Structure 1
Amino acid sequence: METKTMNIKVEKAKTSKIGQVDFDNLAFGNVFTDHMLVSNYKNGSWGVPEIVPYQPITLDPSAKIFHYGQSIFEGMKAYKDEKDAIWLFRPMDNCRRLNISAKRMAIPEIPEDYFMEGLKALLKLEKDWIPQTPGSSLYIRPFIFASGNGFHASPADEYMFIIAFAPSGAYFSGKVKVLIEEKYSRSANGGVGFAKAGGNYAGQFYPTQLAVDKGYNQVIWTDDNTHEYIEEAGAMNIFVRINDTLLTAPTSDRILDGITRKSILKIAENKGIAVEERKIAVSELIEAAKDGSLKEMFGAGTAAVISPISTFGFRDVDYDLPETPNSYAALFKKRITDIQYNRAEDNFGWRFKV
């Protein structure tokens, strides 16, 4: 993967916050590094990215992000190996998906070289912020939003592209308890569920809080029409293991084409694990839980990598999953993280050295 070199102007922060950070006790996404990358879209084109000190953004009250929600983002991570080398995991997939989201939200696409060269330059500047505590990494948040002004309901004429970093610990600790959602929907056919649009996540917060109030950690989203088929687990793709077969819902207008999801499917193929990408009925899940053929359920995404599910609830009944030795969840998490941290051979070409 090669991108052309460009001159990226760097304005260094006068002082660093790094000495104030306890890298052995990092929460997820609460601490931010000294610098960020910024590019502005004006007069029909993106400006060459610049690196500036991490700082607040000043926007006009009429900026269209506040009124019409043109906002998209990605989630990535950077890792350090034992030799202090910096690695990314499938970064061009994130770049391409950001632009797929941009197109759907009528946002101008960011040039791939701006994304990659800007990201590499920022990583080299902030390399000391990449934690090496087990389970930790440098979370990377590229995002684009409408900065142009006006109350007219139309796409903005100006946008900002920013990459910001947050050294982070594990997203989830332990297994999660989920509730199958029957009233609210995450997305609909023809909608923006496949895009990483900010509004997708805002719409999840209320029904998720209702589930939390009932003692669950997250919801399992079902299809918007019948609520008969499971589709995602919170903000993650969902996998189900019945006997020795791995099941996951096919991507669609409603379901995000997750990079961790794609990686799991490839590893499963490589390991000879039977996989079915198809609709998974709630009734099938309950039947499998009752007859003992349901071995595992887990969410998959960049932040958590793999998040095992211990219990799912449906219509006031909880179904506990068994403790499965040599679980697929553990196998996939180890294989992916070993590649990410450069602890094992990468036969897939996913690891990218900065």
Structure 2
Amino acid sequence: MSSSSTPNRRSFLAGGAAIAAVPALATVAGGAFAEAAAADDTLPDYAPIPPSALGPAVNAQGYFVGRLEKNLYWVTDGTYQAAFLTTKDGVVLFDAPPTIGGNLQRAIDQIASANGVSNKVTHIVYSHHHADHLGASSLFGRDVVRVGHTETKRLLARDNDPTRPVPDETFETRRTLRVGGERIDLAWHGTNHTPDNIYIHLPKHDTLILVDINLPGWVPFAGFNINEDVPGSIAAPAKALTYPWKHYIGGHMGRTGTRQDMVVYQQYVADLVDGVKKALVAVDPTPFFTKYGNNTWAAVKTYQDAQVDYAAAPVIKKYTGVLAAADVYTASTAFLILESVRLDSGVGSQVHP
């Protein structure tokens, strides 16, 4: 698919959770999907995944659970991530991705049993309203305090999805949640991936949770992670780095992140922005509009494809072997950044004399 024909954001959101579930299902199925794919030699080849992008293997039930710091743990199915904090008064869960589903409670049970603590989830903190991160929330029943941004409550009320109960407690800009003697700092620093996506900081555990911004070790998903506010998303890593933290949960893929991962991701995006600005000057629209005449969309499509290729090619070359799937999704991310640089920043805009 060409970069400028990227499907709209809503079509991605509608199918994203189902698509993302496939890798986890393939793992549980013992590689049957991989064998079927291997038989189709018409599929494109991509660069090998750097070993540094891969996380720990999942168990026979399809999940991995590990300690981040002290009594804070993370869970992954290789494609999605959640985290939980055990306390003397119960468990605080951060997001509930449906692809992990019932394995969330199994992971909590595993840790609680090993450490002799309660396995009862008393709170769920919502990072943002998207179903692919909250669609298993209803598994924990109504006797749970759900906490999220005020906009999260509004959006979930609009969506009316029984798998994602609306938050019981909300905040506008900042909220310190205290459960069982533990401290969790919640903050909203403006729109980024969505209007309600928040920063979740656990200062005593050296951990920041910021979902759907940086996917450690990997380039963003198609269309720059389907970010609704591109300038806000570009600015988010710098805001994240103002917090003190060692461990990072990005919500996706099979490993946690570090501060260096955030720096590399920042540079990747900066390189794309720089490439897009150069493309807006360097790529001549004349041949495209000359060839296609009154077929305006054909002219615009091929012109923007050329701009995207100009911007993305050196970035793909630079980050192949550094960030996984640089050759898979960089072009679609470049297209969304191209549109933002044109429309949000006004770069390349010309006033007719």
TM-score grouping bracket, smaller chain normalisation: under 0.3
Higher fraction of helix: 2
* TM-score using structure 2 length: 0.25
Higher fraction of strand: 1
